[in-house]
Chains A and B, each alone.
Chain A
């Protein structure tokens, strides 16, 4: 059922002051696109704390070496930002695959992580951008590498009442590719997604990060495949070997969206496609 109480704090300071007076089973409401689904299944708490109006969560800052993305920014707002197009190609490429235009206008990047789903397109892209997640609880901040934030399906490192403040993403000269396999070309939840970001220097891979969605209990980092590519040229042989390694790292399940065996095989196909795109870039 949907909760009977909804509160809307005016600032973070007001939020921390209000929380102790609220029912214990409370949930944050940002874009609402996951919470409303949880509500229709009866898992959305007794009280919603609407954080969509908090300016502190919608900041976007650029420094010479990094970007900070506020958790409350919507996917469509991010996709339109010139700094995102320039420095976060993986996120820019993933955006059109993220749900539908109207949902992108509502859904926030923080909520995409907070939901804890291994299929999240925004999270998969940010993982390959080497993002860290910044959490906040009553004035105490902590920072985790984004992949470490996910503990299992729908389980995250968030503590009671802790908020996602945003994401810190380093600036690095890389190219990205985002390959998603869903029920349709667009507007579907992924059966498998593979995102590759790579910095190529003098024809060889200086650094690469490969993240995969929907093929493990958490957003998966294909570390063996990425390590294998270090210092190598991207050619048919190395691409095929890296793609096979990525497949070996995946541990998908069979569910309503796809089958385990098919998903595992598709990790190899999509990883090879993504790497070939990067080689041609």
Chain B
């Protein structure tokens, strides 16, 4: 994992300037020493990442952090200096949704929608590593993402649909 020499980072008027790669583009945030990546993202307009429990339990704040899903509510923002972060905004947009997002809609896996950004992040990481997962593998990959509406049936269906979509897309290329 790439780690930067943050010891050279100094606070100006109580704020640190951190530089990171966010959804493929360079970004700069001014953050307080006690601020968390989740709050920093949301304060800078990246509100797709949701704040559920704020204690590492619910998974709704999952982001890609240096290549793996991690919980933004438990990452001190200063330690994100030099990191590569991916949020739901980098996965797809309303006009151009990612096949995983399409699959969640098609399967009816979205009710209130609060847990979905985290679920999509977890599902995307799974499908990038295991293109044709078993139901048990899907359940394991999503087991850190809590949902209070749908009962964990439609979302598992959604990941199966997404897996098929992505494999078909890859085969046609």
Contact = CB atoms under 8 A, between A and B. Distances in A.
A and B: interacting chains: yes
Interface string A1-44: 11111111110001000000000000001001100110010000
A33 B56 contact: yes
A144 to B, nearest CB: 29
B132 interface: no
B3 interface: yes
B18 to A, nearest CB: 11
A8 B69 CA distance: 23
B3 A36 contact: no
A96 B59 contact: no
Contact of B33 (A4, A14, A36, A101): A4
Size class of A's contact patch?
20 to 34
28 contacts: A3-B33, A4-B33, A6-B33, A6-B34, A6-B79, A7-B7, A8-B6, A8-B9, A8-B79, A9-B7, A29-B76, A32-B74, A32-B76, A32-B79, A33-B56, A33-B74, A36-B55, A36-B74, A50-B6, A50-B79, A100-B59, A100-B143, A101-B140, A102-B59, A102-B69, A106-B74, A186-B139, A187-B144
Interface in B1-25: 3, 5-7, 9
B34 A101 contact: no
Contacts of A7: 7
Size class of B's contact patch?
20 to 34
B71 interface: yes
A59 interface: no
Given A53-B6, A102-B71, A6 B144 contact: no
Nearest to A40: B55
A102 B71 CA distance: 6
Interface of A: 1-10, 14, 29, 32-33, 36-37, 40, 48, 50, 52-53, 76, 96, 99-103, 105-106, 186-187
A102 B54 CA distance: 14
